[in-house]
Structures are given as structure tokens and as C-alpha cells.
């Protein structure tokens, strides 16, 4: 059975009226996943290298980075989710394992207004890739000799808002630092 990674929706009426009083229709956003791939991945089993065994449940730290760029083809974008996962023994500084994963997807996106494209790329596209990314993390940690790590859902909306707020704060602080 083949999977279809395409999301489509019928045109929707916005409720706005044009100059002649007729209702205008605006097509719903359309996203098609053209491809997805691992750009870079590493898994380091630090505990095995040091001859240690894992006892109990470790502290897991997951750092997420997002990146998007336009491709040369019209309406195509590459969106990458970068994870750095570090597991440590509770109360210790030594890592048990470290995993870095740079997972990307190529998307064809249509009917998204220019002012909404940036949040769409950094929220909706990573959301579409997340189940595949989660599976890779689970498989690699299991194959690395640990219980499979099943990542909790990532709130990409909150990540996006926090990054926008951080950038605004950095811009405000920049002129002050130069003075």
C-alpha cells in the first residue's frame, strides 16, 4: 500500500468582496512533500566506549533547531530540523549517549501569502516531518544498545514564537551595545 504525503484542500471563500461586490475565493494552502532525507546523523555511545552500563532512567536533553531555504525551482523549499539529544546519568555530567540528526524535507508550497510563508515553513513543514524523525531517533537509540527513545511531540508554534521574540530582543539590545 502506497502512502500519499500530499495535503490538498478545496478552495474556500474568504468572505471578502471584490470591487464589483462579488465574493472572492482564495485557494487554500497546498503542501506537497517532494522528498525527505537525512542530511547528517551521528550517534555516539559514550557509555560503551568507557565500559559503563546504564542503570535507571537517564536525564534526556533535546535541543531543536529549524532552518528553511528557497530552492531554485519555483514554489519549492527545503526545511531542516536539527536535533541534538544528550542522555546523562541523573546527577552526573558525563553523557551516556549523544545523537545529532539533521533531517530535511523538500516541499512544494502553493497558495500561501508571502507574509505567512516564514511561519508556515517553520511550523507546518517540520510538523509534517516529525513522525519520520521520531522513528529514526527511536530506531537509532534502540540499535545503539538503549531502550528506544520515543520523542514527545514538539510544539513548533511555541518554538517559532520564542525564536521571533529572541530575535526582537537581540535587535533591541544591539544598538544599546554599540553605543
Please give the grid coordinates belonging to residue 48. Answer: 560503551
**Tens digit of pLDDT at every position of the chain (179 positions):** 444 444 434 444 444 445 555 455 678 889 999 999 999 999 999 887 777 766 767 899 999 999 999 999 999 999 999 999 999 987 777 889 999 999 999 999 999 999 999 999 999 999 999 999 999 999 999 999 899 999 999 999 999 999 999 988 988 887 665 55
**Using CA atoms, how far apart are residues 157 and 84, in angstroms rounded to an integer?**
19
Question: Which residue ranges make up each domain of the chain?
Answer: 29-170
Q: How far, rounded to the nearest angstrom, does the alpha carbon of residue 100 sit from its chain's CA centroid?
A: 14
Q: Please, is 152 exposed, middle or buried when counting C-beta atoms within 10 Å of its C-beta (0-12, 13-18, 19+)?
A: exposed
Q: How many CB atoms lie within 10 A of CB 116?
A: 10
Report the SS3 class of residue 149: coil
Kindly report the pTM of this predicted structure: 0.77
Q: Which fold has domain 29-170?
A: Bacterial Protein-export protein SecB (3.10.420)
What integer pLDDT is reported at residue 162 of this predicted model? 92
Amino acid at each position: 500500500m502506497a502512502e500519499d504525503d500530499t495535503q490538498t484542500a478545496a478552495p474556500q471563500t474568504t468572505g471578502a468582496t471584490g470591487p464589483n461586490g462579488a465574493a472572492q475565493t482564495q485557494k487554500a494552502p497546498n503542501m506537497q512533500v517532494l522528498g525527505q532525507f537525512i542530511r547528517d546523523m551521528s550517534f555516539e555511545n559514550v557509555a560503551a566506549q568507557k565500559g559503563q552500563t546504564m542503570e535507571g532512567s537517564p536525564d534526556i536533553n533535546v535541543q531543536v533547531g529549524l532552518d528553511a531555504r528557497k530552492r531554485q525551482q519555483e514554489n519549492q523549499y527545503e526545511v531542516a530540523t536539527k536535533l541534538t539529544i544528550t542522555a546523562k546519568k541523573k546527577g552526573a555530567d558525563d553523557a551516556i549517549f549523544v545523537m545529532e540528526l539533521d533531517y530535511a524535507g523538500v516541499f512544494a508550497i502553493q497558495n500561501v501569502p508571502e507574509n505567512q510563508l516564514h511561519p508556515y515553513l517553520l511550523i507546518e513543514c517540520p510538523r509534517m516531518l516529525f513522525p519520520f524523525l521520531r522513528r529514526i531517533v527511536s530506531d537509532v537509540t534502540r540499535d545503539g544498545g538503549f531502550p528506544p527513545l520515543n520523542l514527545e511531540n514538539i510544539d513548533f508554534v511555541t518554538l517559532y514564537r520564542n525564536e521571533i521574540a529572541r530575535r526582537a530582543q537581540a535587535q533591541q539590545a544591539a544598538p544599546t551595545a554599540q553605543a
